[in-house]
Amino acid sequence: MNHAHILHASLGCLLTLNHTLCVFILASLSVLSHANHTEVAPEPVTNSVGSPGNAKEKLALEDLRAFVKAFNHIRSAYVEEVDDSTLLKNAVKGMLSELDPHSNYLEPRHFQDLQETSTGEFGGLGLEVGMEDNFIKVISPIDDTPAKKAGIKTGDLIISIDNQPIKGLDLGEAVKKMRGPKGSEITLSVVRQGVPQPIEFTLIRDIISVVSVRSEMLSQDYLYIRIAQFQGKTGIDLKELLATRKQQQSINGIILDLRNNPGGILQSAVEVTDAFIEQGLIVYTEGRIAHSARSYFASNTDVSYDEPLIVLINGGSASASEIVAGALQDHQRALILGTTSFGKGSVQTVIPLSELHGIKLTTARYFTPHGRSIQAQGIDPDIIVEPATITKIDTGKKYTEANLQGHLTNKNLADDENIDNPLNVDSSNNSVLTDDNQLYEALNILKGLHILSLENK
């Protein structure tokens, strides 16, 4: 079989059996790599029904010829010998790395990492990361992990690991360097916007057990729910939590905190949204392959929770978090507060190439119910509240009518309420005020929404 026939067979695979394209072409290239360098005039390219190929197909043929030439030169002339398997694997890595930051080659360990992340327990530092300009960008530190406790923030660029520069490494290799046994030490150097010099962090690796859903009651029966990551049981856990809290006490409003939530499983995001709306479209996806066009609708057969709802987002809220925030915003079910989200509006599919290797490929974009694409834009909050440090001003002792000697009592108050001590100030929210101004603002707005809901009944 000459060069042209082999390339025609490869191109026919492209036209008819996309899923076997990589395997077939790589097998063809292996044959070509052992052939001589005789130039063969290209024959007319035919598709699966025998019609002449178009100019685009002929261009692909020439590109394949160029690839084979490069492959042969590298394997025969590079200063050190490189085996064919490594060269071909690197070729696949190169194709994926030039597509988008979320498409990549999966070594055997990465299959395991994906499974561990979806179940919520894995070893490491507790960072959700991506690639940007050949550096590792922190999408989000995960709650209660070494990275979060050390002070690593969303948007930080990791430039070295244990004093070794990481520029040029692919994402999988960098993540592998950050993994390690519990108790082992690692040093990260990061560049942070607004800080002139790199910041160095020394962390101790730990087993990362991500609690997907946690909650607490704020003042006056307001429920705070934090979702750190969308795992397989997140939707079920949320609905069970809401049912239990409702049985225990009345709830005047809910704050759903999705800040620094890097996303996770799409179906879990649908189930979380489903807890708060009764019907309607939640999200839909569009892509080139047949199975990429899907729509997800609310199908809540249980009680939908209709209390006033505020969703907190920020630049670390990505993917599944944006699906939830965008759907609730489009349905006018929640008030979105915080800062613009990360803007990851794409869907990745894991495609096995063998029992040990595979690729993670971006196959679709997702859209909110109103048709908004979040890709590279994010969800804009209804109310922008930048993170800030707020200090309460102590105005000293407060004097009112009740402090005046001989003041008249209020007949509508019980005797114990007429005690001359009006200086008891509720300080239950002081820590929220000083530590988390976004949550504090959300709570104040939620109280106002609750009052308005009572007036409208």
277 and 188 belong to one structural domain: no
- Which is the catalytic residue, given 317, 344, 360, 436? 344
- With both helix axes pointing from N to C terminus, report the angle between 266-274 and 234-248 in degrees, rounded to the nearest 10: 20
253 and 187 belong to one structural domain: no
Give 88's pLDDT tier (boundaries 50, 70, 90): very high
Please check whether residue 266 is in contact with residue 320, taking contact to mean a CB–CB distance below 8 angstroms: yes
Provide the 10 A C-beta neighbour count for residue 338.
Answer: 28
* Listed residues 209, 224, 248: the one ending a domain: 209
pLDDT of amino acid 31:
36
Distance separating the N- and C-terminal Cα atoms of the chain: 81
Q: Is 137 a catalytic residue?
A: no
236 and 189 belong to one structural domain: no
Give me the phi and psi of 194, to 5 degrees please.
90, -10
Please check whether residue 188 is in contact with residue 201, taking contact to mean a CB–CB distance below 8 angstroms: yes
Q: What is the 3-state secondary structure (H, E, C) of 321-375?
A: HHHHHHHHHHCCCCEEEECCCCCCCEEEEEEECCCCCEEEEEEEEEECCCCCECC
pLDDT of amino acid 117:
55
391 and 453 belong to one structural domain: yes
* Beta strand pairing call for 281-287 and 104-106: unpaired
256 and 365 belong to one structural domain: yes
Q: Say if 89 falls within a structural domain.
A: no
Q: What is the pTM of this model?
A: 0.74
Q: Say if 115 falls within a structural domain.
A: no
Q: Say if 361 falls within a structural domain.
A: yes
pLDDT of amino acid 119:
55
163 and 290 belong to one structural domain: no
Number of domains in the chain: 3
The stretch 353-363 carries a mean pLDDT of 88
170 and 214 belong to one structural domain: no
Q: Say if 255 falls within a structural domain.
A: yes
7 and 69 belong to one structural domain: yes
- Which is the catalytic residue, given 274, 330, 341, 436? 330
Q: Say if 450 falls within a structural domain.
A: yes
* Beta strand pairing call for 213-218 and 127-132: unpaired
Query: pLDDT digits over 135-177, tens only?
Result: 888 988 888 889 999 999 988 999 999 999 987 777 778 888 8
Count of residues making up the chain: 457
359 and 427 belong to one structural domain: yes
Q: Is 319 a catalytic residue?
A: yes
User: Counting runs of H as helices and runs of E as strands, what totals does the chain give?
Assistant: 12, 19
Q: What rounded mean pLDDT belongs to the chain?
A: 81
Tokens of 394: 């102590």
50 and 190 belong to one structural domain: no
- Which is the catalytic residue, given 28, 103, 319, 341? 319
HSE (CB half, 13 Å, CA atoms) of 397?
Answer: 3
Give 29's pLDDT tier (boundaries 50, 70, 90): very low
Domain extent, residue 46, equals 3-82
Q: Is 330 a catalytic residue?
A: yes
* Listed residues 185, 209, 233: the one ending a domain: 209
* Listed residues 187, 209, 231: the one ending a domain: 209
